[in-house]
Amino acid sequence: MIMPIRALRWCASLIAICAFLPGPERAHAGALPSFTLLNTTFEGQSLGPIGTGGPGQPVSVSSVITATVVEQTFPALRGINRALEIGHDASSVAGFAVFEFPGDAEPGDGNVVVEAAIFQPFGARFLLYVRENGGAAANWGSLTISEVGNLVWNDASTASTSLGSYADGETLDLALNFDLDARTVEIIVDGVIVRPASPTYSGALGVGAVYLGVDRTTTGPTYVDNLRVTYFPPVDLFADGFETPAP
């Protein structure tokens, strides 16, 4: 049996292993109880500028960017044929499409895993931020993928740190595993842990939104597909009430 690394803590490696097991094997492996907070493949969205406020849509899109559902032609992206193209109007500020969780959900304990497939030709400067619901005070994490191939991370506990680089035209499979009890984040790119669990935001707010955007220095678009957020409640949430009744 695959066991949790320690009580109330699950690493992204374990989550990834369970996620890719077929159904019966996943059950026998003791797959972790989970709830999908966001699962946006863009297949159900109409081509053109993405709407706001509906299922699988951002709650808002900055006026300085374009967020367009397109027929993507990049085989490396994991979606079937549609993706979100994010471009910039060359103004002096960054802009975002903000995806909040349904029902204003904002977990404060357990684990939250944010995943996305990102295709970025050189020239784009992509931003992915993780914040609380309805605001941007809690810097759980801010990822910058630069126009020359560098991945840089910062959060409430880390000013700036390099995660490595990528090749022009490469698709990146990103996973961010937030342990909300320990207030740490583990970062995985293309199946490789590029940043072990490290301290992040330590305040009272939870994780409630993913910001997808581009910076003012962008000269080309970025493409995002399969944006998924999964919540793994604390193990002790399931510890009572499911045992066999005592005789």
Q: In 10 A of CB 87, how many CB atoms?
A: 17
Arithmetic mean of pLDDT, 106-117: 97
Domain that holds residue 89: 34-236
CA distance 189 to 177: 11
Domain assignment of residue 18, yes or no: no
Q: How many domains does the chain have?
A: 1
pLDDT tens sequence across 35-92: 999 999 998 899 999 999 999 999 999 999 999 999 977 655 655 689 999 998 767 7
Residue 84 lies in a domain: yes
Whole-number percent of the chain with pLDDT over 90: 62
Question: Averaged over 142-165, what is the pLDDT?
Answer: 94
Domain at 221, CATH number: 2.60.120.200
Q: What DSSP element (H or E) covers 216?
A: none
- Is the confidence at residue 214, as pLDDT, over 80? yes
Q: How far is CA 90 from the centre of its chain?
A: 26
23 domain residue, yes or no: no
The answer to whether residue 222 sits within a structural domain is yes
Question: What pTM did the predictor assign?
Answer: 0.82
Query: How far is 105 from 129, CA to CA, in rounded Å?
Result: 17
Q: Which residues of 28-61 are buried (b: 16+ CB within 10 A; e: fewer)?
A: eeebbebeebbebbbeebeeeebeeeeebbbeeb
Report if residue 243 sits inside a domain. no
Predicted confidence band at 196 (pLDDT cuts at 50, 70, 90)?
very high
pLDDT of 170 reads 83
Task: Give me the sign of the Cα torsion angle 98, 117, 214, 61.
Answer: negative
Compute the distance between CA of residue 166 and CA of residue 47 in angstroms, rounded to an integer: 29
The yes-or-no verdict on residue 17 having pLDDT over 50 is: no
Output the average pLDDT for the chain.
82
Residue 16 lies in a domain: no
Q: How far is CA 150 from the centre of its chain?
A: 18
- Per-residue model confidence as pLDDT tens digits over 167-195: 887 889 999 999 999 999 999 999 999 99
Token representation of residue 66? 């374009």
Judge whether 196 lies within some domain. Answer: yes
Does 56 reside within a domain?
Answer: yes
Do 231 and 107 meet the contact criterion of CB atoms below 8 Å apart? yes
Residue type, position 181, single letter: D
Which of 15-24, 135-144, 201-210 is predicted with the least confidence, judged by mean pLDDT?
15-24
Q: Check residue 74 and give its pLDDT.
A: 65
- Cα separation, 201 vs 180, whole angstroms: 9
